[in-house]
Amino acid sequence: MKKIITYLIILISVVAKAQEKDNYLPKGNENFAEKNYVDAEANYRISQAKFTKKATASYNLGAAIYKQNQPSEAKYQFVKAIKDAKTKPEKYQAFHNLGNSFMKEKDYSNAVEAYKNALRNNPNDEQTRYNFALAKKMLKDNPPKNDNKKDKDKNKDKKDDKKDQDKDKKDDKKDQDNKDKKDDKKDGNDKKDKKDDQNKGDQDKPQPKPSGASKQRIDNLLDAVNNEEKKVQEKVNAQKVQANPKKPEKDW
């Protein structure tokens, strides 16, 4: 018994929905006639949301959007209208306006197909026939770019870029190697020059000459030199102690 009541409630709601009147579609039509396309779009959208399978709302919504110079968005509404259309006149009108949207986007290939389908549903419409001929002429004068050629050119550019990068890396490595060689050579020359200068300096130093000084005289001279060096060292150490303050104790 409960199931029967549930089914009855569902049936009543479906019938009520079917009998519900669409007040938004005529409002949208009034707005469209007044060239108030923004309000027309709003009413058509409400109508489309309430009556999802109604082709007229989608078609009119596409037309309102198209009038606002938004062909890319409008064409999706025309496609929906074609899908929901149940009669040939409805399909013909939706295909015709779909072709107009493609023409606005300069997509002449799809425009030709749309007008062709419009003529299949209404072969006698002269406006569609004229648009179909114009779309074919525009397509002939503006053939679509070859995607394969574009991909080929793109791949060629990538290969050329890779070659240039590899060449740059080789050149950089070669420059670095040359620089390292020059630095090594320079270091070698500097060391050699330094050694030569040192040897030369040693040669320029006056060499002690043998004399008749006694051994005791020489020992006394060496002691004096050592004492002077010791004094200098002690003085240096004393200055270091003064320069370095005592470190504080650690805080525990």
Q: What is the pLDDT of residues 50-95, one digit of tens each?
A: 998 889 999 999 999 999 999 999 999 999 999 999 999 999 999 9
Using an 8 Å Cβ cutoff, are 12 and 37 in contact?
Answer: no
CATH topology of domain 20-73: 1.25.40
Q: Any idea of the CA torsion for 87, 125, 63, 111, to the nearest 10 degrees?
A: 100
Q: Which of 8-17, 74-83, 98-107, 223-232 has the lowest mean pLDDT?
A: 8-17
Q: What is the pTM of this model?
A: 0.54
pLDDT of residue 150: 55
Q: How many angstroms separate the CA atoms of 25 and 43, rounded? A: 6
20-73 matches 87-144 in fold: yes
pLDDT tens per residue across span 163-218: 667 666 666 666 666 666 666 666 655 565 555 555 544 444 444 434 444 566 56
pLDDT tens per residue across span 118-159: 999 999 999 999 999 999 999 999 998 875 555 555 566 666
pLDDT of residue 247: 40
Tell me: pLDDT of 14 over 70.
Answer: no
Q: What interhelical angle do 71-84 and 55-67 show, nearest 10? A: 170
Q: How many angstroms separate the CA atoms of 121 and 102, rounded? A: 19
Does 30 or 233 have the greater pLDDT score?
Answer: 30
Using an 8 Å Cβ cutoff, are 28 and 2 in contact?
Answer: no
Would you list the domain boundaries of the chain?
20-73, 87-144
For 30, 111, 143, the CA distances from 90, given in Å and listed in that order, are: 20, 18, 31
Structure tokens at 226: 């050592």
pLDDT of residue 91: 96
Closest by alpha carbon to 52, among 80, 75, 78, 71?
80
CATH topology of domain 87-144: 1.25.40
Give the distance, in angstroms, between the CA of residue 53 and the centroid of all CA atoms in the same chain.
40
pLDDT of residue 82: 96
For 1, 21, 30, 56, 146, the CA distances from 24, given in Å and listed in that order, are: 39, 9, 10, 12, 46
pLDDT of residue 2: 46
pLDDT of residue 21: 86
Q: How many angstroms separate the CA atoms of 159 and 107, rounded? A: 32
